[in-house]
Structure 1
């Protein structure tokens, strides 16, 4: 398998139009929400890590969907932002937040989470024109176990300076992460972080990609590399743990 430097030379810059079904930031329309139990459990929550060299626009669009429907399966539960772009990123997110569906805002778990946030006096980000009880919430420097016993209905936010710090923060909240969405167009840096990540599936510069092309190899414990529909797939062992790695690719100019 090619080393990191070879990988980074083989592909052109990754752009936002290569990301699967980005969420519109329009404030028009409503988020459709399925019925939510009064005591919702985690359902394959995601960890999102955004570096200053990542596609901030596409990462933000994907995060917004989770913020509007935080109890959905596969929603982002924890967000790690590189310190240099954190204020800019959070400010843009706050501008695009819309009123939560009542299925979320009236859910007992979400209401209890808001009470706990108030008790802890935690720093939060909400929609610029929305009240706390009706707005999606980002909570700074907090783990979900402080906020509730199951899915909390909010996204926790931590900042980091280096990839090493990001790896340490990734393990701080021991949620049953189904996937990590890592946004960094410097693939060598992204690969260096993978051994520290708490999930078998790492999606680089994309969100919820189709895993069916590589699933058989992963489940069969086989190493494999393939390219399908402009996505690069790998099944490989990293630090003793088998992983799936996926990222979109541009024009391949070297074999």
Structure 2
């Protein structure tokens, strides 16, 4: 049985606040207004991509939006837009107090309310609206929230790759990393040639790029296989890129087996939990 953490913000505490000792210590976290985006990420989700993996990874990162490499934007193919939004929302749970009480997060929520902008939060039984990740589904870019980290993710839909490219270029942020979820490898290289991001992860997350970094540093075209992944460096439109994707038949991801009960194949690094 899961144990409820000591700093869990219960509904009773929300509706009947008390003035005794708080159940969490905000001094352990930085709630100072952030000035700069710390290497923002962008995500493309196509109808043939793994919606569950994309939704899981996005939702988990949205619970800590002020950590380095936060997701800022996601572009989803129109045919799976509503389905993907629901998959992300179903994974929302209550954010920690240092997120809910962060000045940037509070400001973004107030701006959304005053601007009458459409957004999605967790279901009431999973988290109160003021302590939930926020997915903005209206037609706004991050300039709406000023230049500092907003704590929210904006979502837009597209029908063609050209429309997906326009969503990327309309944003004012410099995206260091782009994630693409699609089974068609041709769309990956079409997108890669039209955007400015250096690192592109296809159908995978948080893969160590150390095996390919020496070739990227030397600006040398190279392709290699390592631990179930295809790594390559290439120059597209004057920009050197690193592209990574799994070459095994099963998408490679972090182990999700209970501690001490792992059933993964150690050689192939594939989690079957």
Residue 96 of structure 1: CA displacement?
1.8
1:226 alignment partner in structure 2: 224
Change over 3 Å in CA distance of 1:175–1:36 after alignment to 2: farther
Residue 210 (structure 1) aligned with residue 208 (structure 2): yes
Whether contact under 8 Å (1:36, 1:71) holds in the other structure is: no
Q: Which protein has the larger Cα radius of gyration, Structure 1 or Structure 2?
A: 2
Conserved 8 A contact 1:180-1:197:
no
In structure 2, the residue matched to 1:67 is 62
TM-score, length of structure 2 as denominator length: 0.78
In the TM superposition, residue 85 of structure 1 has moved relative to its aligned partner by 0.4
Could you say which residue in structure 1 is the equivalent of 2:106? 111
Higher RCO, 1 vs 2 (CA within 8 Å, ≥6 residues apart) = 1
2:91 pairs with one of 81, 86, 96 = 96
Q: Secondary structure at the match of 2:82?
A: helix
Instruction: List gaps (5 residues or longer) in structure 2.
Output: 9-25, 250-273
What's the TM-score, normalizing by structure 1? 0.83
Q: Does 1:56 align with 2:54?
A: no
Which portions of structure 1, spanning 4 or more consecutive aligned residues, are displaced by more than 3 angstroms? 28-31
For 1:96, what is the secondary structure of its paired residue?
A: coil
1:158 equivalenced with 2:156 (yes/no):
yes
After TM superposition, give the deviation of residue 37 of structure 1 in Å: 4.5
Match in the other structure for 1:22? none
CA distance in structure 2 between the partners assigned to 1:226 and 1:36 by the alignment: 40
In the alignment, which residue of structure 1 is the partner of 2:261?
none
Q: Which residue of 1 aligns with 2:188?
A: 190
Q: 1-side partners of 2:132 and 2:227: how far apart?
A: 37
C-alpha RMSD of matched pairs (Å):
2.1
